[in-house]
Amino acid sequence: MNKLSITFTQTDKSLSSFSGLKIFDDLISKFKIKNFVNPFLPKKERNSGFHSWNKFYAILMGFIAGAECLDDIDYTDRKINFK
């Protein structure tokens, strides 16, 4: 069994609420959350645009980062380009 090894080092850089998202991204991948959620999401009707999973994932990560509502996620997307 692989154990997650985390090391801490001192830095002068300022950390934001986004700095811990990599851990949650790894957990979402490791536990295959997409496989649990995807059957309950609407199916995509067109070839263009984002899949429902991408939208769900963006909202989930936004809430983890501290967004309290969808308006906060929209504001964050305009301030920090996630693309």
Rounded Cα distance, 57 and 63, in Å: 10
Residue 7 — φ and ψ, nearest 5°? -120, 145
- Identify the pLDDT of residue 3: 66
- Identify the pLDDT of residue 10: 82
Contacts of 71 (CB under 8 A, 6+ apart): none
Q: What average pLDDT is seen over the chain?
A: 81
